[in-house]
Amino acid sequence: MKRVTVLFGAGSIGTAIVRRVAAGGHIVLADYNETNAAAAAKTLEEAGFECSVIKADLGSRESIKEVIRHAQQFGEIFHLVNAAGVSPSQASVSQILRVDMYGTAVLLEEFGRVIAEGGSGIVISSQSGHRLEALPQEQSDALATISTEELLLLDFVQAITDTLKAYQYSKRCNVLRVMYEATRWGKRGATINSISPGIIITPLAADELKGPRGEGYRKMLQWSPAGRAGTPDEVGDLAQYVMSDKGRFISGSDFLIDGGTTAGYWYGDLQYLKQTH
């Protein structure tokens, strides 16, 4: 029986992370698109990793439980990496809330019941959650602690009609749920944190930079403090540290890795974005 790493969302960022933490164990690639997961598994296997693939819907509790049952065939679940989700340009408000908000909350809850002692988890959130204004304390508390099955029934969540706002609220919720779940994961001797990337060059991001909104994205990158986009490896390096033995004192935290874009959005050359966001 081996240490098992479960990856939801077999894209560039998720696979960069598991390459750094899963050597010698078994990687479960859980993805809604089995073709993508199989392609990622082939690449990982050719690099010496042991993998299996399972179709998964992050927005379904039963699907998440099925992934857990599949993973436990190979050993104890030692790592969880959630890099799955949908974006404002890909999905409707209801889909974003079901997958990114509710699904991530359920994922943390269910894996928090089985994570191994000494284990760790990472949720890939987004810089977008840091562009949402400060919420009333009662709203933040509700997003963090309310029963997962009541999450989408909150009045202020049901009032969301814009896909960007749905995404921003979902990503803020991810960070708050990580804080809440850290208190529960800690009782099992495990840590859970989130990472909020900015624009990272993946196949999807590369398409966006060439698409109809590409000029706006390129301008944003140009005027950010770093002056460029990030790479999956940079996110992977950060996750590796947080999930390693060196990061055992870190739990319930969110790490913004966006080349200073959020700093520029609030206080620098990117303040013009507030007019559109």
Helix locations, the chain, DSSP H:
12-21, 34-46, 61-71, 93-96, 104-111, 137-145, 155-158, 163-185, 203-210, 214-222, 232-243, 261-267
Of 137-141, 208-212, 251-255, where does mean pLDDT reach its minimum?
208-212
Q: What is the DSSP string of 46-105?
A: HTT-EEEEEE--TT-HHHHHHHHHHHTTTS-EEEEEE-----TTTS-HHHHIIIIIIIHH
Q: What's the mean pLDDT in 158-183?
A: 97
What does the alpha-carbon distance between residue 99 and residue 170 come to, in Å, rounded to a whole number? Answer: 9
The more confident residue out of 72 and 1 is 72
pLDDT on residue 211: 74
pLDDT on residue 276: 65
Beta bridge partners of 82: 8, 123
Beta bridge partners of 57: none
pLDDT on residue 200: 95
Question: In the CATH scheme, what is the code of domain 4-200+230-261?
Answer: 3.40.50.720
pLDDT on residue 214: 83
pLDDT on residue 75: 98
Close Cβ partners of 273 (under 8 Å, ≥ 6 residues apart): 131, 220, 265
pLDDT tens for each residue of 66-123: 999 999 999 999 999 999 999 887 789 999 999 999 999 999 999 999 999 999 999 9
Instruction: Phi first, then psi: give them for residue 151, nearest 5 degrees.
Output: -60, -50
pLDDT range class, residue 277, cuts 50, 70, 90: low
Instruction: Phi first, then psi: give them for residue 248, nearest 5 degrees.
Output: -65, -20
Q: Cα–Cα–Cα angle for 177, 164, 199, nearest 5°?
A: 80
Close Cβ partners of 193 (under 8 Å, ≥ 6 residues apart): 120, 121, 122, 123, 178, 182, 242, 247, 250, 251, 252, 253, 254, 255
Distances (CA, A) of 23 to 14, 29, 84, 133, 232: 14, 14, 21, 40, 18
What does the alpha-carbon distance between residue 165 and residue 163 come to, in Å, rounded to a whole number? Answer: 5
Q: Is the distance from CB of 261 to CB of 198 less than 8 angstroms?
A: yes
Q: What's the mean pLDDT in 40-57?
A: 98
Q: Is the distance from CB of 121 to CB of 170 less than 8 angstroms?
A: no
Residue carrying structure tokens 């404002």: 88
0.85 surpassed by pTM: yes
Position 169, amino acid? Y
pLDDT on residue 7: 98
The percent of residues in the chain predicted with pLDDT above 90, rounded, is: 89
pLDDT on residue 148: 98
pLDDT for 238 beyond 90: yes
Q: Is the distance from CB of 203 to CB of 262 less than 8 angstroms?
A: no
Element (H or E) spanning 4, and its range?
Answer: strand 4-8
Q: What's the mean pLDDT in 20-35?
A: 97
Q: What's the mean pLDDT in 11-17?
A: 97
Q: Where are the domains of the chain?
A: 4-200+230-261
